């Protein structure tokens, strides 16, 4: 397995840990490919009955990697379908997948957590879709899954302002199933996963499909629309300026072009 994803087993529970500490686990293509491969392998491995996906204490993931995306054109992101195949592969996993979130969970990181079946978080967790600050929009399901999770008003506010919500607000809004003290997060996630692992794997798989079904009517349409809008924004100067300003650590100056 790639060193971008660390793994450990706790009986029937596999823990996968995003491992790019130098960039707050920002998601680049290599990491997303490694994660999709690790999850596909877990899905095929009869010894694994539940998976926990986590990051570091400081960040689950602070978004897609701005440095990797910065210079891309519309033609590139559209042709590459950036993260599209990897996100689809993660969504296809049939075994239960729990996100254990501590610290920043932003942009593509929040979208990745929402791709999991449910989110347990530490009291330090902070969720947000700050893409608008970079002159882009969410591209891996944020506008669709966040809206389904917390309702239109809060999702719209989050996506339009880029503000973060803390763990307590995320629990009140229904984005996360539970908040626990940071020191207990992994023990609680593994304990929850172990509970699930003790059930009938067939019933668990059927239950996951049934609950997901409730979310997915017309979701594919929304996801494709969102992805194409995301790609199109790489044709704007504001995307170049937004990402350049982030990397240069200077205030952003959008020109609406
Ligand atoms: N990409 C690349 N590098 C990052 C990212 C990122 N998203 N986030 C943090 N880093 C890097 C920083 O550049 C910094 O590196 P260096 O030390 O080399 O300067 C290092 O991680 C530590 O970060 P900070 O010094 O900024 O740490 P702070 O504690 O001061 O701040 C924050 C933490 C608030 C989380 C801050 O890092 C931040 O605002 N990060 C960016 C958040 C963001 O904008 N995320 C959205 C990115 S766009 C996105 O996710 C699009 C998703 C769509 C993808 C799918 C397409 C289909």
Give the active site residues.
Answer: 64, 108, 111, 131
> What's the CA gap between 10 and 25, in Å, rounded?
23
CA of 198 to the centre of ligand 1 (A): 38
> pLDDT value at position 1?
65
Overall average pLDDT of the 192-206 stretch:
93
Name the residue with the closest Cα to ligand 1, atom 12.
Answer: 23
Overall average pLDDT of the 7-29 stretch:
98
* Residue pLDDT, tens place only, 138-181: 999 999 999 999 999 999 999 999 999 999 999 999 999 999 99
CA of 26 to the centre of ligand 1 (A): 6
Strand blocks (E) in the chain: 5-10, 13-18, 50-54, 59-61, 97-101, 104-106, 118-122, 126-128, 164-166, 178-180
Overall average pLDDT of the 1-10 stretch:
93
Name the residue with the closest Cα to ligand 1, atom 37.
Answer: 62
> pLDDT value at position 223?
80
pLDDT band at 216 (very low <50, low <70, confident <90, very high): confident
Computed over every residue of the chain, the mean pLDDT equals 95
Name the residue with the closest Cα to ligand 1, atom 22.
Answer: 23
* pTM recorded for the entire structure: 0.93
> pLDDT value at position 229?
85
CA of 63 to the centre of ligand 1 (A): 6
């Amino acid at each position: 397995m790639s060193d971008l994803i660390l793994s450990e087993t706790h009986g029937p529970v596999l823990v996968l840990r995003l491992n790019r500490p130098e960039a707050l686990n920002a998601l680049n293509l290599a990491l997303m490919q490694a994660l999709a491969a690790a999850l596909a392998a877990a899905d095929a491995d009869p010894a694994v009955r539940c998976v926990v996906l986590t990051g570091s204490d400081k960040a689950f993931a602070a978004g897609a990697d701005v440095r990797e995306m910065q210079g891309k054109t519309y033609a590139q992101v559209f042709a590459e379908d950036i993260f599209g195949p990897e996100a689809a592969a993660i969504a296809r996993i049939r075994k239960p997948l729990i996100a254990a979130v501590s610290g920043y969970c932003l942009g593509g990181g929040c979208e990745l957590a929402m791709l999991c079946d449910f989110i347990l978080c530490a009291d330090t967790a902070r969720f947000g879709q700050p893409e608008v600050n970079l002159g882009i929009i969410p591209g891996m399901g944020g506008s669709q899954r966040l809206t389904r999770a917390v309702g239109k008003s809060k999702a719209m506010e989050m996506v339009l302002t880029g503000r973060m919500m803390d763990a307590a607000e995320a629990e009140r809004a229904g984005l996360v199933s539970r908040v626990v003290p940071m020191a207990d997060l992994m023990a609680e996630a593994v304990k929850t996963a172990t509970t699930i692992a003790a059930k009938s794997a067939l019933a668990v798989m059927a239950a996951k499909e049934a609950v997901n079904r409730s979310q997915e009517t017309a979701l594919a349409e929304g996801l494709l629309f969102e992805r194409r809008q995301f790609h199109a924004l790489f044709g704007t100067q504001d995307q170049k300026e937004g990402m350049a300003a982030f990397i240069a650590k200077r205030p952003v100056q959008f020109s609406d072009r």
